Structure 1
Amino acid sequence: MINDTSNGIDIQEQSDVRMQADHRHGFQSVVPPTSSKPNGWTVLSASYIIKDAFRLHTLLAIGAGLQAILSAAAPKPWCFLPTAALLVLSPVVTFVQMVRPLLSIHGKWLTHSFLAGVVPGRSTAHLRTKGRLFGGQSASEGASGQGLVVFHFGARFNHPLGVLAPGARTMTKLFRATLSALSEDRTAYGLMGGDLFRGGASTRVSNDTILLVLYFRDVEGLQRFAGSAAHREAFQWLREVTKLGDDGKQKYSHLSAFHETFMVAPGAYESLYINTAPILLGNTFTEISQDDDGEVGEDDRSGENKLPIWHNSLVDADDNRLQTMKARLKQSL
């Protein structure tokens, strides 16, 4: 078993299920199926936000302040230990990562490896048409016929205090609750997967923009989620604190939020990933139910003996039918 906690996925080797997944869409899967619900895009820790929320000189000032406090409180020989440990450990860890990028202990890959989760070679995302599993479809008839909806949602704190700005904590809390609710009922909403990014335009002072990229099977599923209790609560709060009052002012004018929706027809999308860990459309999954006896069926969770297995969309792009952009567009029809 390989545990890849870098993207929140516990990848379990199941060769029999993988063979059925290959036959399912007529192409060779490059990521083994998993019995754990993929939800790496919901991870929004404090360190994730804080790292890019402050400018470099602010981070240096914080470090210098902490070192000054330590120097005043501890005897001189001891106050230099944190700096010494950092100076020693940093090059050692970097050297180990360079020499043994896939270092493992007891069969588990170390999560600090930069190659953790990377799929070697060329791969592409191929989406299974909803409701079609085998259906007499042979390997040469692997076209997807599946459209999708791409949804971008983002937020930013336009304030010198970044994540410590007034209202930022509440906004982050509601954002996390929304992601949790979406992940919990992802099948009902037709959510295939997504990715979470941070950063911002190079022309801005801070890089604290949070961008969530999600992929839905259809716009109806996205609209169902828009009507969910978690989303309504977050949207109502944001609307109240950013609406213009009679005096033309807002309660929290420094809070920003945005979203974009793209409806993509079958045959109007393709992808290519080279030595890349599952990302964006390549980080989407289809939930398939497996009987206790190993039989794979449709997306039906009604039976008590059904075990949910999640199949990644990535397949081998060196297949003759997927080697060019034109061919990949054709296979998405």
Structure 2
Amino acid sequence: MAAFSPILAPSGTRPRSQFFTAVKANFIRDGFPLQTWVAIGALLQSALLLVLPIRFAIIPSTFYLGTSLIDGLAIWSGVRANPYMNGVVPGKVSAQFPGSTTPSQNPIVVIKLAARSNHPLGVFHPHMRKISTFFRDMIEDLDEHSEQYDYLGACSYLANERATANEVMILAYFRTYEGLHKWCHVPGGVHREAWSYWNKDIMGRGKAKEGRLFSIMHEVYQVPARKWESIFVNYHPTGLGATTYKIDVDGQTKWISPLVDASRGVLRSSKGRMALSEGNDHDIYGDDAFPSQSKR
């Protein structure tokens, strides 16, 4: 079988991890419950009413709501391009290691690394600001030394099980457990620095009472070949689909996305993407909603 062909053009430089596309305002918004944001808005509106006639004081909120409505209608009607479609890969695609000739041909290692504040100050506490800085520095370090640690990419998530101060998580991918472990324990490395900060500054002697207000966790999965699969439908590159791989193209170093066409052949079904079938498992259900992209 021929190797799967990536659908996105290679890049001459390694793209930064998807982690760095996170919108910081989301974390600030998560710092307060909805009722607090409503109260802040009400206070600001009241302040305007104290210094301006009512016909002028309502202009800012009316203008904002009006322009938001017009913008939404313009996007809906097609007059303005939909910004949420930026980067979306149309159709049905799957992430496969470049050069693979069979689905999920390579093993993969995944780590979930998360933190949460139970302190009244939430993400605004100095410890959480420091942890956030460590998260950023760790991914920057991995981006810079990706080959040394078999690092492939990472993205971040903000949980929603609480009204505020939710869990912040990094999901990172490595080729090998050895690469991940090496990065975690390299002397003087960013992870070791973060580890020491947690043990000494947060949970150190005499600090444990306050330290218990902060939470960290990780889970590691070492997944053998043919024991994982992925599918993305009309989706922007994310997770495993946002990882990058170094390849050689005519003697030049390039970085390539793992996304390949999954609208036909063995990658059409979950069992096919785990090399357990020919990908025709869904034929019994009738017409495929995603015909071969080559026929479009």
TM-score range (shorter-chain normalised) is: 0.7 to 0.9
Aligned residue in 1 for 2:84: 114
User: Which of 214, 231, 234 is the aligned partner of 2:172?
Assistant: 214
CA contact (8 A) 2:123 2:165 kept: no
2:127 is aligned, of 156, 160, 167, to 167
- Listed as ranges, the matches of 1:95-134 within 5 Å are 95-100=73-78, 103=81, 113-128=83-98
Give the counterpart of 1:79 among 32, 57, 66: 57
Q: Does 1:287 align with 2:246?
A: yes
Aligned to 2:3: 26
Conserved 8 A contact 2:155-2:170: yes
Q: What's the CA shift string for 1:33-85, capped at 9, x where partnerless? A: 23342323134553131122321101112222233334445565543332122
Shift in alpha-carbon separation, 1:274–1:192, aligned structure 2, 3 A: same
The one-letter code matched in structure 2 to 1:170 is K
Q: Contact 1:322/1:331 (CA < 8 Å) preserved in 2?
A: no
Q: Is the 8 A contact 2:93 2:259 kept in 1?
A: yes
Tell me, what secondary structure is at the counterpart of 1:186? coil
* Contact 2:31–2:124 under 8 Å retained in 1: no
Aligned pairs (5 A) from 1:121-200: 121-128=91-98, 141-143=101-103, 145-200=105-160
Per-residue deviation at 1:213? 0.7
Offset at 1:267?
A: 0.7
Distance in 2 (alpha carbons) for counterparts of 1:200 and 1:244 = 30
1:275 and 2:234 correspond:
yes
Task: Show CA shifts across 1:163-210 (max 9, x none).
Answer: 223422222222222222222222221111222111233xx3425211
Distance, in Å, in 2 between the alignment partners of 1:224 and 1:169 is 26
Letter in 2 for 1:195: C
The CA distance in 1 between the partners of 2:158 and 2:45, in whole Å, is: 28
Report if the CA contact (8 A) 1:287-1:311 is conserved: yes
Distance 2:58 2:243 in 1: 47
Assess if the C-alpha contact under 8 Å between 2:127 and 2:202 holds in 1: no
**CA RMSD between the two structures:** 2.7
Q: What corresponds to 2:24 in structure 1?
A: 46
- What residue in structure 1 maps to residue 70 of structure 2? 92
Structure 1, gaps ≥5 residues long? 1-22, 104-111, 297-305
Distance of 1:180 and 1:198 partners within structure 2: 19
Inter-partner Cα distance in structure 1 for 2:67 and 2:92? 35
Distance 1:212 1:55 in 2: 23
Q: Aligned partner of 1:152: which letter?
A: K
Amino acid at match of 1:90: S
Structure 2: runs of 5+ lacking an equivalent: 278-296
Paired residues of 1:101 and 1:115 also in contact (CA < 8 A): no
In 2: Cα distance, 1:215 partner to 1:162 partner? 28
Distance in 2 of aligned mates of 1:154 and 1:233: 17
Instruction: Tell me the equivalent position of 1:10.
Output: none
**For 2:181 and 2:137, how far apart are their aligned partners in 1?**
18
Tell me the secondary structure at the aligned position of residue 318 of structure 1.
coil
Q: CA deviation at 1:320?
A: 1.2
- Residue 256 of structure 2 corresponds to residue 311 of structure 1: yes
Deviations 1:270-329 (A, max 9, x none): 111211111211111112244xxxx15xxxxxxxxx4x4221111111231212222211
Contact 1:244 1:250 (C-alpha < 8 Å) held by counterparts = no
Decide whether the 8 Å contact of 1:42 with 1:183 is kept in 2.
no
Within-5 A mapping of 1:249-268? 249-268=208-227
Q: Does 1:55 align with 2:14?
A: no
- 1:108-156 CA deviation, whole Å, 9 max, x = no partner? xxxx62222222221111113xxxx5xxx9xxx4455310101101111
* Contact residue 55 and residue 205 of structure 1 kept, 8 A: yes
Q: Which has the higher contact order (CA 8 A, sep 6+)?
A: 2
Paired residues, number = 274
Q: CA separation in 1, counterparts of 2:235 and 2:155?
A: 14
Contact in 1 for aligned 2:118/2:214 (Cα 8 Å): yes
Taking structure 1 as reference, are residues 216 and 102 closer, same or farther at Cα in structure 2, changes over 3 Å only?
Answer: farther
Using the alignment, how far apart are the partners of 1:73 and 1:102 within structure 2?
37
CA distance in 1, matches of 2:137, 2:50: 42
- For residues 246 and 46 of structure 2, what CA distance do their matches in structure 1 show? 53
Counterparts of 1:29 and 1:287 in 2: how far apart (Å)?
A: 13
What CA distance in whole angstroms lies between the structure 2 residues aligned with 1:327 and 1:207?
A: 40
**CA 268–64 in structure 1, closer or farther in 2 if over 3 Å, else same:** same
Identity %: 27
